[in-house]
Amino acid sequence: MIWYLTVMLTYAELDESKLTKWEAHSFDDDQACHLFLNTNKVSLVDSLLERFRNEDGNTLISFEFYCQGETIILQEV
């Protein structure tokens, strides 16, 4: 399993929140993901607001970071 830092974005103009997986940050387990989030929260929030505060005319009103796991299926060659 691989873990990604994911953010849920809520915009005033949209009925549903959007999920964004930050693939630049992947981890071997959920504890490493949470540690990264806790030690880098200020820079993550800065970059999140810079990138997503106003997207496609929508105003960001809330967000939440979390760590999301995905199972990797390896194919034999």
Residue 43 within any structural domain of the chain: yes
Q: How far apart are CA 13 and CA 61, in angstroms?
A: 10
The Cβ of residue 36 has, within 10 Å, a number of other Cβ atoms equal to 17
Residue 75 within any structural domain of the chain: no
Residue 37 within any structural domain of the chain: yes
Counting every residue, how long is the chain?
77
Torsion of CA 45, 47, 48, 49, to 10 degrees: 90
Count: domains in the chain: 1
pLDDT confidence bin for 22, thresholds 50/70/90:
confident
Residue 77 within any structural domain of the chain: no
Range of the domain at 42: 2-70
The reported pLDDT for the residue numbered 77 is: 67
Q: Return the bridge partners of 5, or none.
A: 22, 67
If you average pLDDT over every residue of the chain, what do you get?
92
